[in-house]
Structure 1
């Protein structure tokens, strides 16, 4: 037996494809309401941790789901014909430019698996969606984190990072950004795309686009073949529990993505629900109006409480908890809120240990949050 064969035979079946996978920590989701109830026995829970739509979803969605209940034994349309046609009309693109996903996370994963190898690099911003770094590690690739500017993307520095790393395959840009809520102007984003080689894919993660229509960079698809836009039905459309997302790209990129995509990655119920949700733009407008009103109210309350925050263009706001007393930290405030039935998101995993990300809820939920927060701060 040859030495290299001996080495291979001694490998554990649990040896990952890349050592970088061992450095990954499981993604931490927002604490489920059921889990909080089990842990603390709290029955009246307000969840403001996962940027879900507190208004739920369009009534049209409920009807569409009901109509599918008699067909659950049947596989969905693997091509998603009707949803893709609706998305093509809505976004003024060809059907062939669309790829469907099991949520936008699925599409980000498909992109990485389609284009990134172990000798390649992924560029992203500090304080951006943690999944970007995870994807690089999953592929055994180099992850290049560019320092943020005022909690947002520093596009000049990111362009330089691409130049410094000629093996860059993908640049991920979240706009508006999660978890900071920062937004990029269309002009500067176009300049950035024009500055990078056409061989580098620029992935615009527009998960919160419905809350910030001015962040819509659909026009870039007509000018640049290396731009990919990824969106989701999990946020404003209120379908987080069904997991439906989509990507807009050139026909050539979509053709490759659909080779990697699992054939039934969106369920029958998800396809029908997403099509119904897309058709009800009145619901989206009401959602946006409610979010804008409640965001302004929350900003005033945080000012009154003496808490700093970052101006957000999404449906969440990042709040700084910095109190002079050493025993009061964002972690301790988070824990105290949990014990009183209010779930928010700590940001230690993002390198922001003094900050909490708080979803904008309906008026009743926001009042509960502020009253609870005020009580906790006054006690300390």
Structure 2
């Protein structure tokens, strides 16, 4: 048989597979541990709303039936909650699937996307798979430099991705910056604000981007049920944009890409505002505790608008990651983002945060 590499599209060769945080069961199995906590993937430590769990249990009886391909009930619920038209919404198997659909719908070979140098990696994947080119702009004080991103725009620019708040730094760009940025971006360049962590942002300056949809037909907003709603295992996200833009995205959306359980759980989650508020309160308390501990340890950290913190442990982060793993605490090494001494830790429940700090103290003092 011919060299298998000759069968592959050239664009695929430049793609590096996404490496997720280690699953708890895998760590238990590999290291023979009985108790493991995971603070690596920015999941909600409270879990899903009990209402969502109850709905899924009931809906499990009908899993032999295909889901609603038009996502009618969730579409209607979100339309009412967000104040947008139903045809201004699209849905993905996680918001990262919508990132891929954006590439499929709009990218031509040699088109450019502009993204931060240190941000969510799936934007790069979306361009790579379609043969597009990637223009990376360095962060400024761990934050998107919107002025520099504007300067990077060329005639080949098709999309600009702004993760706000940003993963993995936890920082955000404010309302005035966003308004000035949108005013200057050419009309034929799509601007995607990925707001996966928006519900965790507590700054008064956090922009309400939905308010800008009427003025900017090139604006696309991405959100997810994976984070504060605690439905990461169901994989459901959504996009908000001009009706025509949505119609093009939906041409590449797979039929039945949102499972029946996911649709019902998402509706229940939207209705359970108490669970969202409780999740935010736990996050704020945990953030305050971890800030205090990092300061007592003399460790620099980046103040966050999310449910995770980027912290400099001033040691080889891969070694610290492995030693923490052996102690039953899964965190995220940031070496793949170019940070050799930084880790990212998800804010957990009080006992999880205390255990993380206890183990971290022992590891970095050894």
1:331-356 CA distance string (max 9 Å, x none) = 11111100000000111111112110
> Corresponding residue for 1:111?
102
> Corresponding residue for 1:364?
351
Q: CA deviation at 1:15?
A: 2.9
Say whether residues 1:279 and 2:271 are aligned partners: yes
1:219-275 CA distance string (max 9 Å, x none) = 111210100000000000000000000000000011111111001000000000001
Q: CA deviation at 1:207?
A: 0.2
Task: Give the number of equivalent residue pairs.
Answer: 363
Q: Distance in 1 between matches of 2:267 and 2:326?
A: 39
> Corresponding residue for 1:3?
none
Q: Distance in 2 between matches of 1:216 and 1:54?
A: 26
Give the match's secondary structure for 2:214.
helix
Q: 1:81-120 counterparts in 2 under 5 A? A: 81-120=72-111
> Corresponding residue for 1:200?
189
Q: Distance in 2 between matches of 1:266 and 1:44?
A: 33
Equivalent of 2:27, from 33, 36, 50?
Answer: 36
Q: Distance in 1 between matches of 2:159 and 2:2?
A: 35
> Corresponding residue for 2:42?
51
Contact between 1:209 and 1:216, CA under 8 Å: does it hold in 2? no
> Corresponding residue for 1:337?
324
> Corresponding residue for 1:190?
179
Worse overlay, 220-229 or 130-139:
130-139
Structure 1 spans left out of the alignment, 5+ residues: 1-8, 323-327
> Corresponding residue for 1:140?
131
Which protein shows a greater Rg? 1
Say whether residues 1:301 and 2:293 are aligned partners: yes
Q: Distance in 1 between matches of 2:134 and 2:355?
A: 40
Worse overlay, 341-350 or 126-135:
126-135
Q: Distance in 2 between matches of 1:207 and 1:314?
A: 9
Equivalent of 1:320, from 289, 306, 312?
Answer: 312
Give me the CA root mean square deviation: 1.4
Q: CA deviation at 1:14?
A: 5.3
Q: CA deviation at 1:119?
A: 2.2
Equivalent of 2:234, from 239, 242, 248?
Answer: 242
Contact between 1:290 and 1:362, CA under 8 Å: does it hold in 2? yes
Give the match's secondary structure for 1:271.
helix
Structure 1 segments of 4 or more deviating over 2 A?
A: 9-17, 213-216
Say whether residues 1:68 and 2:68 are aligned partners: no
> Corresponding residue for 2:198?
209
Contact between 2:107 and 2:132, CA under 8 Å: does it hold in 1? yes
> Corresponding residue for 2:163?
174
Q: CA deviation at 1:10?
A: 7.4
Q: CA deviation at 1:12?
A: 5.1
Worse overlay, 311-320 or 369-378:
369-378
Q: CA deviation at 1:69?
A: 1.3
Name the TM-score, length of structure 2 as normaliser. Answer: 0.97
Give the match's secondary structure for 1:285.
helix
Worse overlay, 73-82 or 211-220:
211-220
Give the match's secondary structure for 1:248.
strand
Contact between 2:108 and 2:131, CA under 8 Å: does it hold in 1? yes
Name the TM-score, length of structure 1 as normaliser. Answer: 0.93
Contact between 2:331 and 2:346, CA under 8 Å: does it hold in 1? yes
Q: Distance in 2 between matches of 1:374 and 1:218?
A: 43
Give the match's secondary structure for 1:178.
coil
Q: Distance in 2 between matches of 1:53 and 1:344?
A: 15
Contact between 2:119 and 2:167, CA under 8 Å: does it hold in 1? yes
Equivalent of 2:214, from 222, 237, 244?
Answer: 222
Give the match's secondary structure for 1:277.
helix
Q: CA deviation at 1:21?
A: 2.1
> Corresponding residue for 1:4?
none
1:308-340 CA distance string (max 9 Å, x none) = 110110000001121xxxxx4111111110000
Q: CA deviation at 1:215?
A: 4.2
1:126-179 CA distance string (max 9 Å, x none) = 1111111122111111100011101110000000001xx211111000000000
